Structure formats: C-alpha cells, structure tokens
Amino acid sequence: MVERIFKKSTTRVRIFLYLFILLTLVWMALTSTLHWQELTAGVLISFILSLFLSKSYVGLGLPTPTVKTLSFLLIYIASLFKEIIKANIDVAYRVVHPKMPIRPGIVVVKTELKQDLAKLMLANSITLTPGTFTLDIAGDKLLIHWINVSTQDEEKATQAIALKFEKHLKRVFS
C-alpha cells in the first residue's frame, strides 16, 4: 500500500515537473524575450497551470513523461518533419510536371494504436503531410483522401500512408 502511494506521488511530481518545464519553454518561445519581468510572469503562470493540470494529465491518456518517452517523441517529430518535406516536394513536382499522375481518391487505413490521443496524433500527422487528408476516424480505421491512390488494398495503403508515423507513436504511447 505504501509502495503504491509513493509510486503515485512520484509519478505526480514527475508530471508536474514535466508540465512546468514544457509550459515555461512554450512561454519563452512565444514571448521570445528573456526580460526578467516576462520570464517571472511565465514561470509563475507555468507553475500555477502545472499545479492544476498535473491532476488531469493522466486522465487524458497522455504517456507518463520519462526520458525514454520524450526521446521517442523527439524521434517521432523528426520523422514527421522529414515526411512533410518529402511530401511537399512530391506534391510540388506533381503540380509543375504535367505528366505526373494525380489520381485522387479515398482509401481506408488500419491502425493498431489503442489510445484515442495516439489515433488523433496519427490522423493529424497524415493530414499535415501534403497529398493526404484524414476525413474520419472510426475505431481502428482511418478514412484518408489521397492525392495519388496507388492501391485500394487496405494493407498496402496502411503501409504507404500510416506506418511511417504509427511505428513511432506506438513507442511514445507504450
């Protein structure tokens, strides 16, 4: 019993510190200044928000902040940026080059992610990538509008569109 209470309070402190640091960094990025008045206000607001938000953090289905989770999240973000750049180049080339195929259509993609937030991040990652747009999420299926449908097969479409993001999100949310 004491172990469980200690573990729960340790997790709560870790979440508080994580939120405090994250919110402070966001404040600093948004204000883009290091004046002591701005920094003091940001630290104070971040502290108060972290106190209140740390209680509901776990209920939202967010992963417990650990070094491992944060490192997987950074890898995911780097992968997302790489895919966005590749897709931008592909779509720009399709626009400029008249012989490049454009066969728009809607495909179904299946995900193995269980958490709603993980599915939401996957859907948004797909939408942020030019040439694809998530229309709907229903259970473990995502309905995607694709600029150049190369296959209607669910498995192949999943491999082409979602798998590059899903493999990283699985590690973040495990």
Together in a domain, 86 and 152: yes
Q: How far apart are CA 90 and CA 43, in angstroms?
A: 43
Is 83 found in the same domain as 45?
A: no
Q: Is the pLDDT of residue 143 over 90?
A: yes
Other residues' Cβ atoms within 10 Å of the Cβ of residue 122: 23
| 87/111 same-domain check | yes
Same domain, 166 and 129: yes
12-70: pLDDT as tens digits: 788 888 889 888 988 888 888 888 898 999 999 999 998 888 877 766 767 777 788 88
What pLDDT was estimated at residue 87? Answer: 93
What are 63-112's pLDDT values in tens digits? 777 788 888 888 999 999 999 999 999 999 988 987 877 889 999 999 99
pTM of the predicted model as reported, rounded to 2 decimal places: 0.73
- Last residue within a domain, chosen from 30, 60, 90: 60
Residues 77 and 53 in one domain: no
Note the pLDDT of residue 138: 92
108 bridge partner residues: 143
CA–CA dist 172, 76 (Å, integer): 8
The count of other CB atoms within 10 Å of the CB of residue 156 is 12
pLDDT attached to residue 69: 83
Q: What is the DSSP letter of 148?
A: B
Clarify whether residues 19 and 50 are in a common domain: yes
The residue out of 40, 60, 80 marking a domain boundary is: 60
- Looking at residue 6, its pLDDT comes to 46
Confidence check: pLDDT of 137 > 90: yes
| C-alpha distances out from residue 18 to 11, 115, 123, Å | 10, 21, 25
**Side-chain-side CA neighbours of residue 163 (13 Å):** 7
Report the domain count for the chain. Answer: 2
Structural domain harbouring 17? 2-60
Statement to judge: residues 132 and 153 lie in one domain: yes
Mark whether 54 and 138 lie in a shared domain.
Answer: no
pLDDT, one tens digit per residue, over 114-131 is: 888 889 999 999 999 999
